[in-house]
Amino acid sequence: MKKAVAILLALSILSFPLILASCGGDGGDTGVSDTAAETSAVETIETEPAETAREDTKDSLPELDFDGAKLKVTYTDSHGGDADAINWTTEDTGDIVVTAQYERIRSVEERLNISFEIKKDVFNKMAASIRENVLAGNDAYDIIDSTQSALAPLVTESLFVDLIDAKYLDWEQPWWANAYMDEMMIGNHRFFLLGDISLSMLSYMSCMYFNKDQFEKISGSETDEVLYGKVLDGAWTIDELSGYVKKCYADLNGDGTRDEGDQYGVGVVTASTTDHMVFDSGIRLTSRDKDGIPYISANNEKTVSFSEKLYSLFYENEGAFLYPATQDSLRIKIPAKFIPGEMTFMFGYFYSAVFFRDMETDYGIIPYPKLDETIENYGALVHNSVCMLMVPVTCGQLDTVCAALEASCAENYRTVTPVYYEVALKTKYIRDDISGQIVDMIHASPTTDLAYVYSSSLNNFGTVMRTLMEKKTKDFASLYASASPAAEEKLALFIEAFKAMG
């Protein structure tokens, strides 16, 4: 198994989209790849060299000249990370990742003899703007780049081109996240494009951070002998996390009251923390039958057990502090506790590392915990704020656009992703070799669930566990009984809408 893990990690570095093949699956598939290592101690994992270096991987585009065609690109960034904001950068700021993106845009323009006319739109107005312009027949966009949460609900409104058989788009290439895109669809369709063309696909993957000094104080052992070892042994579970968190509480401000000014093990919110805990732990809300048709599969012993464990962490563990479910909590308050060592663990994403650039104390990176050791793999949910690309049905130069999309994704694969992953993420932010190996393992474990992607279309069933935690109850069976009929009705309509598209 150790050799298999080494090969897996080598593949994860070679190709992010390639390892997304684990995101789909039938029946009870957890939606993650085989990453749990059967090793008894933390060791340096030697990866085998790839057959073809990433930078030498050729695309299948022929020589093309589109005679100076202008492609109108409209994009938004969302509320997290620097990866979203630079995907269509129009200025080389000197930052190594921005420079790579800027050069990618110029390279594609020169190669295809095109030019991108890039415009940034307002995030929360994008969906309405697209609907209005496309339904009116306005040729306002050629390429749309915005968030999964904002635009996925538009999938059945016939606003976007089905690109599954589009010219120049080569789905056999490693830069396309095929299985992730398949998980978003019912039937043989492809309206949303994800892969190396979207850096936010990596930056929005979930991970946890831990303060090494604080962990050593509560564990009494070296971190690489305890925490990293548990992760690589496949033994990093919710119970393990809860046990460490419970040891962390101290009345730091001495006022005799358990409040925000005290020492804690972890800060939690009922929103995003809950979402990532659900899917990363191995829970599925939907599965697929033999024909690939999704159905709700959440009512089982594992989900009930998860709800009980999560409730205990949120409301019965004195080492966990519940924050309001706001961006202010996630991006300011919780990092402000973690950085000076007033919090041992922090739930986050890969992009969260940008908050720690000036952190003096060493930190490490680990995956979110599994439900228990019976779950084979760790998961890493790609947050719903991930940016994806679409082509509106009003586009009048589809072949040119598809060639530009293929060339852009390929160039990102060859030049941009390695810079972001290896330099900006692994070298710039990570402070020990073992963390780098753990990052590779998380990188190889992305997951999602159709109910999560289309939660707003399914009566918010994809975030049903949020509701449970907001109600401060662990009675999942009762909530499921009340929520599932409407969700199943919405899912049936959703499936019919997809079938109507052919």
Rounded to an integer, the average pLDDT of 49-70 is 89
Q: How confident is the model at residue 225 (pLDDT cuts 50, 70, 90)?
A: confident
Three-class HEC string of 254-273: CCCCCCCCCEECEEECCCHH
Residue 10 has pLDDT above 60, yes or no: no
Residue 23 has pLDDT above 50, yes or no: no
Q: Which amino acid is at 224?
A: D
The pLDDT value recorded for residue 27 is 34
Quick: pLDDT tens for 441-493: 898 888 999 999 999 999 999 999 999 999 999 999 999 999 999 999 999 99
The pLDDT value recorded for residue 257 is 94
Q: How many residues does the chain have?
A: 502
Q: How confident is the model at residue 51 (pLDDT cuts 50, 70, 90)?
A: low
Q: What is the dihedral of CA 236, 8, 12, 55, to 10 degrees?
A: 160
Alpha-carbon distance 64 to 66, whole Å? 7
105: tokens are 């845009």
Residue 6 has pLDDT above 80, yes or no: no
For residue 408, give the nearest of 201, 203, 189, 194 by alpha carbon. 194
| Between 403 and 2, residue with greater pLDDT | 403
Nearest 5°: CA angle at 127, between 164 and 74? Answer: 70
Q: How confident is the model at residue 233 (pLDDT cuts 50, 70, 90)?
A: very high
Q: How confident is the model at residue 18 (pLDDT cuts 50, 70, 90)?
A: very low
Residue 152 has pLDDT above 70, yes or no: yes
Least confident of 11-20, 306-315, 425-434: 11-20
| Between 316 and 21, residue with greater pLDDT | 316
Rounded to an integer, the average pLDDT of 427-448 is 87
186: tokens are 């019912």
Rounded to an integer, the average pLDDT of 134-142 is 95
Which residues partner with 347 through β-bridges? 208
In three-state secondary structure terms, 478 is helix
Cα separations (Å) of 22 from 195, 216, 252, 265, 378?
Answer: 14, 35, 44, 32, 12
Q: Which domains does the chain have, with CATH numbers?
A: 56-202+386-429 (3.40.190.10), 206-381+446-500 (3.40.190.10)
Rounded to an integer, the average pLDDT of 36-52 is 39
The pLDDT value recorded for residue 327 is 86
What is the DSSP-derived secondary structure letter of residue 321? E
Residue 41 has pLDDT above 80, yes or no: no
Mean pLDDT for all residues in the chain: 87
Which run of H or of E encompasses 72? strand 69-75
Alpha-helical (H) ranges within 136-189 are 148-151, 178-183
CA quadruple 9, 10, 16, 20: dihedral sign: negative
Rounded to an integer, the average pLDDT of 163-168 is 98
Rounded to an integer, the average pLDDT of 28-47 is 32
Which run of H or of E encompasses 126? helix 126-135
Task: Please count the helices (runs of H) and the strands (runs of E) in the chain.
Answer: 20, 13
Rounded to an integer, the average pLDDT of 151-169 is 96
Instruction: Count Cα atoms within 13 angstroms, Cβ side, for 154.
Output: 26
Contact 197/389 with Cβ under 8 angstroms? yes
Contact 449/286 with Cβ under 8 angstroms? yes
